[in-house]
Structure 1
Amino acid sequence: MTQFPSEPREPQDDRATSDWHALLNGDLRRRATATQTGPTAAVQPLPEAPQSGMPGVVPAGAPTASTTGPSGQPMTRREMREAEQRRQAEAEAAEALANASTGIQAPSPDEAPIVHPELASLVSPETGPVDPARPSRADRRAAASSVYDPHEPEKPHKRRGPWGCLIGLLVVAALVAGAFFFLQGPIASIMAKFEPTPDYTGQGTGEVLFQVHEGDSGGTIGERLVADDVVKSEKAFLEAIDASPTEAVFYPGVFKLASQMSAKSALAALLDDSNRMENTVLLREGIWAKNALAEASAALSIPLEDLQAAASNPQALGLPAGATSVEGFLFPATYTFNPGVTAQEVVQTMIDRSLQEFDAAGVAPDDRLRVATIASLVEREGLPQDFGKVSRVIQNRLDQGMLLQFDSTVHYGIGDDSVVTTTDAERADESNPYNTYVHAGLPPGPIGNPGAAAIAAALNPEAGDWLYFVTVDPSTGETVFTNNIDDHEAAAERFYQWLEDHPDYGN
């Protein structure tokens, strides 16, 4: 290593020499701070900085650290810096320990003495460039902080309290529950694909008369087969159609089927013409008169116009004077006619059967039209198990002078039975004589053809104070009966939610 001769300097007193030692030992700031007696204390002057400006040159007159190592050989610059680093770390550790025991704080940056820039570049890494091999002050402080102090108590380990564990468990549980909530639908859909299609087995039991209408699709037939408990699921019936070796062609008519048949057996029976009942008409409860005549036309091969003409004069057929049509008096049943039957005979047979049922129920001839009207409302608005309650609601509202407000009456007036709700405009339409939202009392006449159970309910309503009812689940027929508007509106919200969840219903 190259040593440069010291430049000639003026003799300096012992104070300058001690300042150099203080600077190298990290004590100059403490000395300057300790000599201050207040905010106006003078800053201690520094010895004159060297003029060389050359990095690594030791100023003349400044004391130097030992330049020989333990072996007596001259140390390199790196070894000297490492030795200086160790000495500085030991000095600062001792200073920190002294401050902790005496309570004296280290001087702030504002109290530090002014240091010549070139000298500061050799000592302080914050104010100038340093040799990359020299550790920074932060490194020296980190090294000093690692010095073990036997007087300092050990810091206790931080332990997680029971509340922290509980909160963690609750967060995990919430995440699991949320994932299950959002994924249960897709998971169920995927799992359903691997489950077998619900289906009955065998040929079934008993006898069920099933009518196929003109233009019925496989899906429509499947839905009605499920409703009649002939097959277990529409999907099973459609799968049977897809698996059929021949094309499934359905012809209108009444077929003899059985209860709880396999889908394959039901399809085979519907495609077997020997199961088709000749000259047979099947009328279901609640059917409109115009649709009943269309069913008879298709089953008997009689022109629809002939049947409509035969029904055009209600009084000539024996109906009450107030009846304006045969509506309400074409009794729902299965009719089998001889070949060559006329339109007049068909209509008269159905009306005669209806009058017989009214007589059997004890309805006076003058009261037939009123009872037929109430019974038709009961048939269209409820399921058989609710007929008595629906009849009571009708009677209670009429007794209190309330509007009936039945959607079924509005549908009949506009001639559309394919929907389950009404619009604001339809409910406000006064030109519709069957609109019970604006017209008080019963509608002008029946809105369908009731069966025996509905006639009995019209005559004997169930006891209760109900004023409202709403079918909250059209797929099951679940109906809620209430006696106040608040409960009714809450039930109506369930119905609207059901419609929102089943957008394809009625399509």
Structure 2
Amino acid sequence: MPQSSSSFDDPFADLFDKLPDPRRRDPQRESPGEGAAAGPTEPEVPVSRRAAREAAARRASAPVDDRATGDPATPEAAPAPAPSSRPADERPHLRTPEGAPASRRRDDDARPAAPRESLEDLFTGNGTTEDHGTTPPPPTRRRRRVGGWIAFGVVLVLFGGLAGAGLYVWSTYEEQIRDVMGWQEPADYEPGMATGEALVTISSGDTGGPISQSLFDAGVTKTPDAFYDMLVDTGQNPTFYPGVYQLQQMMTSEAALEALQNPENKLENSALLPEGLTVEQSLPLLAEGTGIPLEDFEAAVADPSQYGVSADSLEGWLFPAMYTFDPDTTAADVVQTMVDRAIVSLDAAGVPEEDREEILTIASIIQREAREEDDFYKVSRVIQNRLAPDNEETFGRLEMDSTAQYGIGEDDGTVSSSEEALTDDNPWNTYVHPGLPIGPIANPGDVAIDAAMNPADGPWLYFVTVNLDTGETVFTNTYADHLVAVEQWRDWCSENPDSGC
């Protein structure tokens, strides 16, 4: 059936019929000047999209020679649009004449810019979208390099953040992670690692548990329970004899047991007194180490004046150290040796003779309260700040738990004081009485005596040990900050109920 030329064949025909023709509004085209030469008749502008498509089809089917004649009067001779990125055979409106190059290099510097095509050429097929704008240039080498560095920086930051988060999680939850993943660290040292020297005291009645802790404290075993667990796992129940034994550090539990069972490692007539013990706790160790009856030592300490001590008790005067005595040494000779050693330490710290008892009292509190050597000097400062006249109205009392516990003989190995200890009216209780207690509460060592004479500089008024395993202690200036630290200690105690809280 022949196609109808009715405009109703195209739903947009009416719209194109009503649009004005821009060429007809061009006065140069409608009314050429008098001097203008009459040119050939311009091609009719399509009035609809159907007409535009038909015109494009006619041009495409026309002979190549007719469109390439170069006749400026014909539409086919119009300048070819700019090359497209598509191959010529895929662009029906760009047919390459025979003998012509398949593509032409655009050289904007060598030829004048061609006039931009109008939107009408898009409908007629005489132009492409590439003729109506310039494609963005490819990124330069410098821009690519900058972009690469930016991407590398982003990746570096991401990996750094992940590494930092992983380190925090590991340091905080290492024990839990090891438990879940089964990555438990060995509880004992490897054979062949033993080195140096370590002295371990076994008291009368000590069993595997206390000895296991003593070995760990002396640096012999790797963990506090390694020795005891070895005894349980192997089903051994050996007999341990009191005395001081010379072992090595970093030994296996089996090697430590063998050394404790060897009489050659026991030091005869020797006694090792740790820091912080009372006279009552020290005398049994002296008796066991020297073989002198305990009753002889109790009689020897009854009169402090025979040793040049002007006090009612030798508390604080039995200097903690390792002692070795001749076989015929008496209990009084042992006590005199220990008092003389305390005077050597006091003189080395520059303590005036008339201040010895007071400095020993302060040093004994420091010895019982502080955990790490650096904290000895801070605790000393807290004592001085609390006793300062400016703070007398604020505090009025030293309030040290160690003094309250000593006053009623409460020494169960925990840091917490009972209500009875805090309220008992004895002369050592600094919760009840102002100032220092009436005398020392333990035997301080060299560091504690030096700290009593040389407190650190600082405004601290409070302190609390928030981790009894590591000895981490928080020093604060205000009561509000102190309460925050106390909560931290309580949280740690709730997670470690068997750690001496």
> Identical aligned pairs, as a percentage?
46
- Give the match for residue 439 of structure 2: 445
Deviation at 1:228, TM superposition (A): 2.2
Q: Matches of 1:496 and 1:310 in 2, distance apart?
A: 43
> Corresponding residue for 1:338?
326
1:392 to 373, 381, 386: 381
Give the conservation status (yes or no) of the 8 Å contact 1:435–1:443: yes
Q: How do residues 101-500 of structure 1 correspond to structure 2 at under 5 angstroms?
A: 189=179, 191-192=181-182, 196-202=186-192, 204-242=194-232, 247-319=237-309, 321=310, 323-383=311-371, 384-399=373-388, 400-401=391-392, 402=395, 403-418=397-412, 419-429=414-424, 431-500=425-494
Deviation of 1:391 (Å): 0.3
Looking at structure 1, the residues matched to 475 and 359 of structure 2 have their Cα atoms a distance apart, in angstroms, of: 22
Report which stretch shifted further, 241-250 or 374-383.
241-250
SS of 1:411's equivalent in the other structure is helix
Report the residue type matching 2:250 in the other structure.
Answer: Q
**What is the DSSP-based 3-state SS (H/G/I as helix, E as strand, rest coil) of the residue aligned with 2:248?**
strand
Q: 2 CA distance for matches of 1:280 and 1:244?
A: 31
Render the CA deviation track for 1:313-360: whole Å, top value 9, x for unaligned.
Answer: 1112111x3x21001110011111111321111111111111122122
Shift of 1:194: 7.0
Secondary structure of the residue aligned to 1:409 is: helix
Secondary structure at the counterpart of residue 455 of structure 2:
coil
Q: Distance in 2 between matches of 1:232 and 1:355?
A: 36
Aligned-residue offset at 1:203: 5.4
| Cα distance in 1 for residues equivalent to 2:405 and 2:252 | 37
C-alpha deviation, 1:448, in angstroms:
0.4
What amino acid sits opposite 1:394 in the alignment? I
Equivalent residues of 1:199, 1:236 under 8 A apart: no
Contact 2:357 2:439 in 1 (8 A): yes
2:426 corresponds to which letter in structure 1?
N
Indicate if the aligned counterparts of 1:470 and 1:480 stay in contact, CA closer than 8 A: yes
For 1:435 and 1:389, the matched residues in 2 are separated by 22
* Alignment deviations for residues 98-127 of structure 1 (CA, whole Å, 9 cap, x no partner): xxxxxxxxxxxxxxxxxxxxxxxxxxxxxx
AA of the residue aligned to 1:349: T
| Contact residue 201 and residue 214 of structure 2 kept, 8 A | no
TM-score normalised by the chain length of structure 2:
0.61
Q: Distance in 1 between matches of 2:185 and 2:354?
A: 59
Q: Is contact 1:469–1:480 with CA below 8 Å preserved after alignment?
A: yes
Q: How many residues align?
A: 323
Distance, in Å, in 1 between the alignment partners of 2:359 and 2:183 is 50
Residue by residue over 1:53-83, the C-alpha shift from the partner in whole angstroms, topping out at 9 and shown as x without a partner, is xxxxxxxxxxxxxxxxxxxxxxxxxxxxxxx
Name the counterpart of 1:502: 496
* Runs of 4+ off more than 6 Å: 183-187
Letter in 2 for 1:379: Q
Deviation of the 1:235 alpha carbon: 3.5
Deviation digits for residues 199-253 of structure 1, max 9, x if unmatched? 3432511111111111222121112222222111134322432455864221111
Does structure 2 conserve the Cα–Cα contact (< 8 Å) formed by 1:200 and 1:263? no
Whole-angstrom distance in 2 between the partners of 1:281 and 1:334? 6
- Alpha-carbon distance in 1 for matches of 2:479, 2:261: 51
CA root-mean-square deviation: 2.3
- Structure 1: where are the runs of 5+ without partners? 1-179
| Other-structure match for 2:27 | none
- The CA distance in 1 between the partners of 2:329 and 2:406, in whole Å, is 30
Kept in 1, the 8 Å contact 2:213–2:225? The answer is: no
**Contact 1:286–1:376 at 8 Å: present in 2 too?**
yes
Per the normalisation by structure 1, the TM-score is 0.60
Q: Report how far residue 385 of structure 1 moved.
A: 2.1
* TM superposition shift of 1:191: 4.7
